[in-house]
Structure formats: C-alpha cells, structure tokens
Amino acid sequence: MPKKQETKKRRVAAAQQVARQQAAAAKAERRRRLIVGGIVGFLALALIAPLTAGLILNNTDPELPPVTTTSIFDLPWATGEFAGATLTTPTPCPATDGTAERTTEFITAPPLCVDPGAVYELTFETAVGSFTLPLDTAVNEEVANLGAVFGWYKTYEQTPVNASTGGLLWVGSPGDAGFTLPVTPTETPINERYPVGSVLAIPGINGGTTGALMVVLDDEGADAVRLDPRYVQVGTIDDLTDHRAVFDSPEASTTLLVDSVSVAKAG
C-alpha cells in the first residue's frame, strides 16, 4: 500500500477512536449530571447511600445542576409540576376504579386496602412501552398493599423509570411521600436472595421502604443487590420480555417517566 494511503488510513482510524472516546465521555457526563440532579441518583442512593451522600450534599461544581434539597433525608416524593394532591388527614383507602385524585403527599401510611392472599398487578405505561409488576400479598402483605394504594392514588405517575447498569429496572421516586413503611430485612441466605425476575421494594435511605419498586432482569442485577438484606421481595415475574424492552430503550437511561399506572387483581 502506498505510504500516503497508509497514513490516511491511520488518521481515519485515529479520528474514529477519538470520536468513540468523545461519545463515551459525553454519555458518561450526561449520566453524571442526572445522578447529581436527582434522577439516576435515586438508584445510587438506594444502593450506596453512605458513599454518595457526601457527593450530593457537597456539590460545588458550577457546571452541574443545583441540588434542590438541603438533605438527602428530606427528599419529597414529587415536587413542582410533578406533584399531586396532599392529604392532610390519615390516609383512607382510595377508590379502586381509577377515579381517585392523584396524590403524592400523605401524613400516614395507608390502612390495609387489599384482599389478603391476592396478587395485584401494577401496569406502568411509558413513552417506550408498558410493563407489569405483580404484588403478591402472600409474599409481603404490607409492601403489596402500599404498591397497590400508590397505584390507585396514581402516586407513581410522572415518576422516573430507569435502567440501571447491572440489570435492574426501577420505578418510583427517590424521596418519600410523607412516611416510611417499616419492613423486616430478609433472612434468606445471600446466595438465594433476589433471583432473576424478583420484584423488590427498594429500601429508603433511613430504612424501611417508601414505595419505589425494582425488577431484577439478570444475574448481574441480582449480584448488585444480593448483599443488602433490606430489599423486600414482593413478587416474581416469569416473562421479562416487556421489562427488557423498556430497559433497553435509550430513554430509560435518561428521563423516562411513568405516563399512567393501573391496578388489577390477578385471576
């Protein structure tokens, strides 16, 4: 090959490598901004809160979006245009026919509003498709009840749906809706916890759960959460096709939100 052609070939290859590096760096920077801004940061808080707390609370980079809360322990479920109604009295069971007013702030945890022993299915509609999470009251009645109540109150609407590197698809808010539901950490042996297809309640920063949910899509995802016994399993999914489709969408790595949610009793 003539010397000029060889030189041109090397230059093209070098330019392509630079372009790939720049694209990767830009993608990493976008994710970093989202983490500090509180969108992708939800999963970081849930998984490694002690490590990330200092970063979030001490952000001094002028190029990053400002942190809008004074403490990671005071994050509300929804703010601004994403906030729904506020209940100022003890939480009643919502209407189950879809007519309940969207509510995102409560002062107490809800009473038992589900039928013991039943399985409820939360179906989330998004711009890139829908997916369903089963909530089995026989597995954990309190967590299943909270998820169903949040579904009927439309609390999940306009909250993030995000794909975490590591095979985890989560839905909900990084904050709490005015209360934290106490839960008992799992006593399942580490190597048996959270198998693929598990639907989990994500632990809040202060312990317990605030209603955010996660589905484990592969072994990498299971390994990422297996060491933390605070995740509470509340259901199991056999067919993950719809969940994987949402997970693989570009939008799930940025700012995908729940458009609507419906609740149905299985069977």
pLDDT in tens, 141-173: 999 999 999 999 999 999 999 998 779 999 999
**What separation in angstroms does the CA of 203 have from each of 34, 118, 168, 209?**
21, 23, 14, 5
Per-residue confidence band for 267, with pLDDT thresholds at 50, 70 and 90: confident
**How many CB atoms are closer than 10 A to CB 78?**
20
Q: Is the pLDDT of residue 232 over 50?
A: yes
- Comparing 22 with 142, which gets the higher pLDDT? 142
pLDDT value at position 20? 53
* Cα dist from 258 to 15, 123, 169, 174, whole Å: 40, 10, 13, 14
Q: 102: which residues sit within 8 A by CB, 6+ positions away?
A: 84, 85, 153, 154, 155, 157
Place of tokens 């299971």: 222
Q: In the predicted model, what is the mean pLDDT of residues 89-99?
A: 96
Q: In the numeric block, which tokens belong to residue 3?
A: 């010397």
Q: Which pTM was predicted?
A: 0.76
Model confidence at 206, in pLDDT bands (50, 70, 90)? confident
Burial class for 11, CB neighbours closer than 10 Å (0-12, 13-18, 19+): exposed
pLDDT tier, 75 (very low <50, low <70, confident <90, very high otherwise): confident
Query: How many whole angstroms from its chain centre is CA 122?
Result: 14
- Judge whether residue 219 has pLDDT over 50: yes
203 — pLDDT class (breaks 50, 70, 90): very high
**42 pLDDT exceeds 70?**
no
Domain with CATH 2.40.100.10 in the chain: 76-265
Under DSSP, is residue 178 helix (H, G, I), strand (E, B) or coil? coil
Amino acid (one-letter) located at 107: I
Query: Model confidence at 255, in pLDDT bands (50, 70, 90)?
Result: confident
- CA 163 – CA 129 distance, rounded (Å): 14
**pLDDT-derived band at 204, boundaries 50, 70, 90:** confident
Cβ proximity of 214 and 184 under 8 Å: no
Q: Which has more confidence, 121 or 24?
A: 121
- What is the mean predicted confidence (pLDDT) over 179-200? 93
pLDDT of residue 174: 84
Spell out the alpha helix ranges (H) of the chain: 3-37, 41-57, 141-152, 219-225, 241-248
Which architecture, in CATH terms, is 76-265? Beta Barrel (2.40)
User: Which residue carries 């909530």 as its tokens?
Assistant: 135
Instruction: Read off the DSSP letter of residue 257.
Output: B
- 164 versus 182: the higher-pLDDT residue is 182
